[in-house]
Chain A
Amino acid sequence: MSPRPYAFVLLFAAATAAVVSWNPLTSTLVAACTASLLVGFVWRRILPTLLAGVLLYPALALAMKTAALSAAWSCLASGLFVIVVCERMTFEYDASEVLGSSTGVDAEARSLVSEVSRAHARKLVLYVTLASLVIAGSALVSTFTVYASVLVAAAMLLMLAVLAYATR
């Protein structure tokens, strides 16, 4: 377990976004994102890593906007991608801090970390599924009314909020 692959994925996405969109604003955002990502990765800091995601989001959305993919869809896809990769990367900071000890860890500790890691991955998959459902639901209902997507998203968020309150 290491945050390195996720850092490479973000860097690759940032570089691709910079090349595809090819304008000074995107290049600046990608440069800032790279710097922030490196700071976060080297010192295992969560905030610079999340900042890198925030900086990458508009650049990636701009790059993904094509004839086939509208601005709204590219923003949603970019946002989802950035949230998932950054969240997994920051989780790996904690896991690698434990497992990356220079003097090693025992099998039980390794197994416990793997268990948490699997639970985290399951929860991320569930989150992506839910988010995709919200997006798909909004897109479907928006064919009937222009305000439907906003209404559906708000309703679903409200449901989650109620659920969160109810389980407290």
Chain B
Amino acid sequence: MLLLVAFDLRTSLPRPEEIRLTASRRVSETKALMGIPVLVELTLENQGLRIEKVLLRDTPPALATSLHFRDIPPTRAKVTKGSTELLCGMKEGGKATLRYEVQFSEPGEYRFEYCTVLVQSMFGLGERILVLPSPLTVRVYPRRLVKEVETGPAMAFGWSGVTPSKYKGGRLDFMNIRSYSAGDPLKDVNWKASGRLGKLLVNEWHVERGLDCVIIVDLSAGSLPRVGDWNGRGEVITSAYELACSLVGPGNRVGLLVMGSTLDKVRPGFGSKQLKAMVETLVDSREGETWSMRHAEEFLELFFGRQYIQHKGTLFFVFAWPGVELLEVVSSLSRKGFVCNSVFVDTLGGEGQALTDHGILGAKEVEFGVRFARAEEDSFKAMLTAVSDVYAWSAGGGFTEVGRKARR
């Protein structure tokens, strides 16, 4: 035994000041999509003396926005391929690269912070632990799961409004046929009539009228289901993003209000820049109790006053579970003449899966719980139908109409 100790210590460990290890990190995409694997490469370089045995340990990135909750584990990216550990020997000037793939389940900003390096003698009798900073940030965006949903005016769910669209020449109502003049888009050429009369004729349409609307996203901690490091925020944000795409695409004027740990707002606007601003806001949003739905009405009045006090806009409430405050605010706004739409995000599947994965409940118990929750959900939907149109959203399934408010 003494011989082993002497033998192992003969190749002594370098002193801390002699260890010149540096770590550099690279990812395949710094702007990633939810559910799409991202390759992480962590390269360790030795600029000092030879090291016989190095154990490199990396930590998958954590959602930066959830680090503020000390009692809740931070949401981390899931390793889908490879290992976060590497065992190697390091020659002078040598390099070793640790590769693994991660997948993100929730939109937001994920931060890689440091990696741990264990420098050991071959028999492990001597060991030094180093913590090397290797920061990198990955912004994760929601992925549009159902691309077919396009709510053109009067096309889907009757989401048409009175605001003239920024995009002229929309195909809402056919008005007339006239002679072609330079600059008319080819898609408006009436080929049949042109063929009959022997000259180019184009169709004329009524100016498209779109919605003037605000999407209000409820990220109150109380209304978001949470099991361990899983929560319904990802699904709520994906749903809000799909809704924003559906509304902005056909030329509606759309604004955004996110109620959660921080109050995020995007003033109404048109086009892809507006959509980009809304997506960035959704990615940076945080769940929490600071700004609950109780405040939604006053913020609508404060930030969107001109549109909504004078013109009465359309409101879309996106939430995972309707709290009392949400029901109150929808009722109140509906009474004041706003056209309210409630989008019920289905998170029960994800919650059931998380309960099973964490070993909290068995498959049968989860099935029973989901049935019970569905019954409860149906009663909430019935309550909401009295004051708003109600739609359900599920990942992969998109929007489905649940009930419409009876209008005079």
Q: What are 23 A-to-B residue pairs whose CB atoms are below 8 Å?
A: A46-B124, A91-B123, A91-B124, A99-B83, A101-B83, A101-B84, A103-B80, A103-B82, A103-B100, A103-B101, A104-B81, A104-B82, A104-B83, A105-B82, A109-B99, A112-B88, A120-B53, A126-B7, A130-B3, A131-B3, A160-B6, A163-B10, A167-B10
B88/A160 in contact, CB under 8 A:
no
B89 at interface by CB-CB < 8 Å: yes
Assuming the A-B contacts A109-B86, A115-B88, A167-B10, are A127 and B3 also in contact, with contact meaning beta carbons closer than 8 angstroms in the complex? yes
Name the interface residues of A117-168: CB closer than 8 Å to any CB of B: 119-120, 123, 126-127, 130-131, 134, 156-157, 160-161, 163-164, 167-168
B204 at interface by CB-CB < 8 Å: no
A160/B99 in contact, CB under 8 A:
no
Within 8 Å by CB of A164, from B1, B6, B86, B123, lies B6
B4/A83 in contact, CB under 8 A:
yes
A157/B6 in contact, CB under 8 A:
yes
A19 at interface by CB-CB < 8 Å: no
| Chain B contacts for A160, CB-based, 8 A | 3, 6-7, 10
Name the interface residues of B38-93: CB closer than 8 Å to any CB of A: 52-53, 55, 79-89
A116 at interface by CB-CB < 8 Å: yes
> Measured between alpha carbons, how far is A163 from B89 in the docked complex, in Å?
22
A111 shortest CB reach to chain B, Å: 9
Assuming the A-B contacts A106-B99, A112-B96, A127-B4, are A167 and B123 also in contact, with contact meaning beta carbons closer than 8 angstroms in the complex? no
Within 8 Å by CB of A103, from B10, B12, B53, B83, lies B83
Within 8 Å by CB of A167, from B11, B55, B79, B89, lies B11
Residues of A within 8 A of B (CB): 46, 79, 83, 87, 90-91, 94-95, 97-99, 101, 103-106, 108-109, 112-113, 115-116, 119-120, 123, 126-127, 130-131, 134, 156-157, 160-161, 163-164, 167-168
> Measured between alpha carbons, how far is A131 from B1 in the docked complex, in Å?
10
| Chain B contacts for A103, CB-based, 8 A | 79-83, 100-101
A116/B6 in contact, CB under 8 A:
no
| Chain B contacts for A109, CB-based, 8 A | 82-83, 86, 98-99
Within 8 Å by CB of A98, from B12, B79, B86, B97, lies B86
Within 8 Å by CB of A119, from B12, B85, B99, B122, lies B122
> Measured between alpha carbons, how far is A120 from B80 in the docked complex, in Å?
30
B285 shortest CB reach to chain A, Å: 30
B52 shortest CB reach to chain A, Å: 7
A164 shortest CB reach to chain B, Å: 4
> Measured between alpha carbons, how far is A126 from B101 in the docked complex, in Å?
39
Considering the complex, give the chain B residue whose CB is closest to the CB of A164.
Answer: B10
B9/A164 in contact, CB under 8 A:
yes
B175 at interface by CB-CB < 8 Å: no
> Measured between alpha carbons, how far is A156 from B88 in the docked complex, in Å?
31
Output the residue of A131, A157, A168 with the most chain B CB within 10 A: A168
B186 at interface by CB-CB < 8 Å: no
A95/B87 in contact, CB under 8 A:
yes
A127/B79 in contact, CB under 8 A:
no
Assuming the A-B contacts A95-B87, A109-B83, A164-B9, are A116 and B53 also in contact, with contact meaning beta carbons closer than 8 angstroms in the complex? yes
> Measured between alpha carbons, how far is A156 from B2 in the docked complex, in Å?
11
| Chain A contacts for B98, CB-based, 8 A | 109
A115/B89 in contact, CB under 8 A:
yes
| Chain B contacts for A115, CB-based, 8 A | 88-89
> Measured between alpha carbons, how far is A159 from B53 in the docked complex, in Å?
25
| Chain B contacts for A94, CB-based, 8 A | 55, 87, 124
> Measured between alpha carbons, how far is A131 from B82 in the docked complex, in Å?
39
| Chain B contacts for A113, CB-based, 8 A | 86-88
Output the residue of B3, B80, B100, B124 with the most chain A CB within 10 A: B3
Output the residue of B1, B53, B101 with the most chain A CB within 10 A: B1
Output the residue of A109, A120, A126 with the most chain B CB within 10 A: A109
> Measured between alpha carbons, how far is A134 from B97 in the docked complex, in Å?
41
| Chain B contacts for A83, CB-based, 8 A | 1, 4
9 nearest CB pairs, A to B = A101-B83, A112-B88, A160-B6, A164-B10, A98-B85, A168-B12, A98-B87, A105-B83, A113-B87
Within 8 Å by CB of B12, from A126, A156, A164, lies A164
| Chain A contacts for B3, CB-based, 8 A | 127, 130-131, 134, 156-157, 160
| Chain A contacts for B79, CB-based, 8 A | 101, 103
| Chain B contacts for A130, CB-based, 8 A | 3, 7
Considering the complex, give the chain B residue whose CB is closest to the CB of A108.
Answer: B97
Contact with A along B95-125 (1 / 0, CB 8 A): 0111111000000000000000000001110
B278 shortest CB reach to chain A, Å: 35
A123/B123 in contact, CB under 8 A:
yes
B388 shortest CB reach to chain A, Å: 45
> Measured between alpha carbons, how far is A126 from B10 in the docked complex, in Å?
13
